[in-house]
Structure 1
Amino acid sequence: MGLLAVNARNQFQGRIQEIIEGPVVSEVDVLLPSGLQVTAVITTRSVHELGLRVGRDVVALVKSTEVSIATL
């Protein structure tokens, strides 16, 4: 399946900066060219199946049904 087949309008190219592996889920930090960071929480199994590693170029696909904001 190519990226065109994915139903996510927000696609951000970046480079994996850090992976924090857990027994079931892992955090994958992706640094964008703008300097912003996107963090994805995915299964550790997916980290291994996708061959993710620090320094690898990836595309962060963002699809959200809700964004919440709280006041300080």
Structure 2
Amino acid sequence: MSIQAINVRNQFRGKVKEIIHGDVVSEVDVETPWGIVTSVITSRSVKDLDLKVGSEVVALVKSTEVSIAKL
């Protein structure tokens, strides 16, 4: 499947900055020109995608809800 085949409008190119490995899920921080995007994905996916610090990736963001809090 190519990136073009995915129905996600918010795509941020970046590099993996940090991976916090867990038994079932892992936290992946992606550094983009606009800041850090953090994703929680299965540890199996980290392995299958061969993600490492420095890997070039695209963070695909699709949300059905966005909450806002006043500062």
Return the TM-score normalized by structure 1: 0.93
* Unaligned segments of structure 2, at least 5 residues: none
Answer yes or no: is 1:62 the counterpart of 2:65. Answer: no
Distance 2:5 2:70 in 1: 38
SS of equivalent to 2:19: strand
Structure 1 runs of 4+ with >6 Å offset: none
Q: Distance in 1 between matches of 2:70 and 2:38?
A: 22
Counterparts of 2:51 and 2:3 in 1: how far apart (Å)?
17
Q: CA deviation at 1:71?
A: 3.8
Count of residues paired in the alignment: 71
Task: Provide closer, same or farther for how the CA distance between residues 70 and 33 of structure 1 changes in structure 2, counting only shifts above 3 A.
Answer: closer
Task: For residue 30 of structure 2, give the secondary structure of its aligned residue in structure 1.
Answer: strand
Counterpart of 2:63, as a letter, is: S
Which residue of 1 is the match for residue 8 of structure 2?
A: 8
Distance 1:61 1:71 in 2: 26
Q: CA deviation at 1:69?
A: 2.0
Q: TM-score scaled by structure 2?
A: 0.94
User: What is the one-letter code of the residue matched to 2:66?
Assistant: V
